[in-house]
Amino acid sequence: MSDAIHVYLQSEPAAEKWGKKASLTPVEQGYQIHFDASQALRSIQKAARQLDTLGIEQVELSGDGWTLDYQWAFYLGFTSAKKLNGVSWQGDDAATLQQLERCYSWSRQLTNQTPEQLSPEVLAQEAIDFLTPLAPDAISHRVIRGEELASEGWVGIHGVGRGSERPPVMLVLDYNPTGKADAPVEAVLVGKGITFDSGGYSIKPSESMSYMKCDMGGAATVAGALGLAILQGLTQRVQLVLCCAENLISGHAYKLGDILTYKNGTTVEILNSDAEGRLVLADGLLYATETGAPLIIDAATLTGAAMVALGNDYNALFSLDTELQQRALGYAEQVKEPTWPLPLAPWHQQQCPSPYADTANSRAMKGGGTGGASNAAGFLSRFVRPDGKGWLHFDLASAFNSSNSALWAAGATGRGIRVIAEVLRQETSKR
């Protein structure tokens, strides 16, 4: 990176001539970032964002003070949908940062692809192609397509995806580094892979539909997290389940008033075809529960309600297992990935009633009504162990930005990868 701009850290405020709040000032070989120690990560990320807007392509982090977290905050601000590299890492943390960059750049690039490029089958294949080279002797997979889903009882993925000419798929990828075919599955990651979400017959307005290529962000996040955990030395058997479909309108699309009967006998009336994410995740959670894995983590760009509650700064975390949830929040703090708990209790299962089925998939009102994120989590809790032990649900409110902000370029952020990888590593290492 001989042509790279050097960037230094400076804890002292900028000289008055640059303005009282200047966070970025020029020096002989590049720029220095004046960061506020009380909110260092945000101020460094904001300054990096400014450097990107100047059109700078390559930087070298120089001088003292560049901790792993500071370097990573810079990367997140400096990179964009058009530029997912360009940072030269510094010090002993370089190898770890390269691992993070590899997984985040893959996940973000995938999420930013156009809906035409990324069909359900392509999404599944991209995950296979990313993960298999990381541990070629330890990874196998199965892809269940189209009508095979219906014949095997995966009614949620099939029902949501049948309106598209491009078939829905369920990817089951098995990472088994033990070499033992009968090794227990210690964890299952489940990701929502809606490669485009029109809303179906509950059609979205254009301003909401325009960025619905991001609705497979949960699948990209859990696949990226598994990749990161593998690179960091994961030694336990873990499976990945991606629930992939396009939610489109056609003569074959599922309709309001339809009832789906899941493999566990739960009947679900469709009151909102735009509440499709929970329908496909239900299949993935049922599969995960069937494995007997003591840890199940799902991730999804599931509800606008989580974004209303938390903005774009935090991902929401739900669980009926309060001890596990508290540990997960601790892991999130360790890796500096903002995560916030939202309410979930057993009675949330009853918040979407139906006179015709065990439950509806939503309530027949805008956004699913009040408490929408908790109600969606309550719906999902029907498809894991009755007490919810060992289950975490991430509603990825901060996984994607539809426009540029002071912290982020427009597009996927990758937020969620580090914390899920950390939960995976820490919890499975206890067994």
> Stretch 23-46: mean pLDDT, rounded?
94
Q: Where are the beta strands (DSSP E) in 257-399?
A: 259-261, 267-269, 295-300, 315-318, 339-341, 359-360, 391-395
**166 flagged as catalytic:** no
* Res. 357 pLDDT band, cuts 50 70 90: very high
> Stretch 152-181: mean pLDDT, rounded?
98
| Structure-block tokens of residue 139 | 């990874």
Q: Is 346's pLDDT higher than 60?
A: yes
Tens of pLDDT, residues 79-106: 999 999 999 999 999 999 999 999 999 9
The model's pTM: 0.97
| Structure-block tokens of residue 412 | 């996927």
> Stretch 317-325: mean pLDDT, rounded?
98
Tens of pLDDT, residues 259-307: 999 999 999 999 999 999 999 999 999 999 999 999 999 999 999 999 9
Closest CA to 336 of 422, 264, 250: 422
Closest CA to 405 of 76, 32, 56: 76
The amino acid at 288: A
* Res. 366 pLDDT band, cuts 50 70 90: confident
Q: Is 141's pLDDT higher than 70?
A: yes
> Stretch 358-364: mean pLDDT, rounded?
95
**Domains detected in the chain:** 5-89 (no CATH), 106-428 (3.40.630.10)
Tens of pLDDT, residues 110-137: 999 999 999 999 999 999 999 999 999 9
Residue 2's pLDDT is what?
61
Residue 19's pLDDT is what?
87
Helices (H), 249-368: 277-290, 304-310, 322-334
| Structure-block tokens of residue 380 | 């999902």
Quick one: DSSP state of residue 350?
A: G
- Among residues 42, 145, 204, 385, the one annotated as catalytic is 204
- Among residues 278, 415, 418, 425, the one annotated as catalytic is 278
**204 flagged as catalytic:** yes
Q: Is 1's pLDDT higher than 60?
A: no
Tens of pLDDT, residues 232-254: 999 999 999 999 999 999 999 99
> Stretch 348-355: mean pLDDT, rounded?
97
